[in-house]
Structure 1
């Protein structure tokens, strides 16, 4: 099992469910997003993205895609923390942790999940091969 994609999945699930839904509440997260100029739908998309990407990463399904999708969210988090200093323990949280997650997500999206992922099961491999073939034809 590749701990890199599992760790990213755990972190995304923690931020999407535990932090944004359980701790801040969905309404509180929506209010925060609106207070910094984002529409409410952005909060729902971030929450859903973090949770669904996390679940896919935790089992190693659609790993490259699941690692790519949260990159804009993670870049946004990095951008939001830029003014708070480098160290994440700084007041308001620095940007070292979000940028580390961006690097981890890019690494996974380029390298894939590894041999223990659901991606490597025979039916999944057939689907991925078919999908890659049809993409090559349409591009």
Structure 2
């Protein structure tokens, strides 16, 4: 039994009460069907009433009473974030050099290898083109 629009008590299933379909229940409660089902399983939501073999409805007075039991709670305060840990650097063959070791500039070495103190890199070996006979097909490999 809940209070009606005039302030009087409305009996569940009484002449002033209505059976609401799911679309209206969703509008009144703001819940999805699966959430309402889960709440029904734990006894925290009004049970539906079977209207016909394939149709159910909810008493408007029960939904109004259920809605009145809900309190407005603020969102939980988030915990402060932990300070991120420092990254662990792993030295590999491809790791960049340390700032104290300055990598030689490739263009400077190509222009003046004697200034870098290192020997100039050897040029890549040249491939000789084989001579082909007249009878052989040359594929250009």
TM-score by length of 2: 0.23
Between 1 and 2, higher relative CO (CA 8 Å, sep ≥ 6) is seen in: 1
Higher helix share: 1
Whose strand proportion is higher, 1 or 2?
2
Q: Which has the larger radius of gyration?
A: 2
